[in-house]
Amino acid sequence: MEKTIAVAALAALAQETRLEIFRALVQAGPQGVAAGQLGLRLGLAGATLSFHLKELRHAGLVTFAREGRSLIYSAAFATMNDLLAYLTEHCCQGEDTTCAPPYCNEPARA
């Protein structure tokens, strides 16, 4: 993954509503979810949802397919995995153990 693509993906996810949308799409799995259902689930107006989905699409984090009159949105799992690999390689000195959960846990209280 190129640095500019990683920056675009992180910038898109840095906005609270877009992160919420992306999380919902990841939870929906590869089959995705219709835009209307997603809007209802998250309590977002159509125009608001459309705006944020467009930003996530431009960042390469979501894809869509038309099924009849519906647009079915899915998380772009390959892009997400590429982003995680990029972060691991460039932010964890290439060692998965550097960013492993035991190192991220809150210190035990004495």
Q: Averaged over 34-51, what is the pLDDT?
A: 96
SS3 26: helix
Of residues 86 and 28, the one with the higher pLDDT is: 28
In a domain, 103, yes or no: no
Residue 81 sits in which domain range?
Answer: 3-94
In a domain, 104, yes or no: no
pTM: 0.81
Q: Write down the pLDDT at residue 102.
A: 44
SS3 36: helix
**In the structure, what pLDDT confidence band is assigned to residue 85 with cuts at 50, 70 and 90?**
confident
Task: Spell out the residues 6+ positions from residue 34 whose beta carbon is closer than 8 angstroms to its own.
Answer: 67, 70, 71, 72, 73
Q: Is the pLDDT of residue 27 over 90?
A: yes
Domains identified in the chain, total number: 1
Cβ contact 25:75 at 8 Å? yes
CATH of the domain at 26: 1.10.10.10
Q: Write down the pLDDT at residue 92.
A: 65
In a domain, 87, yes or no: yes
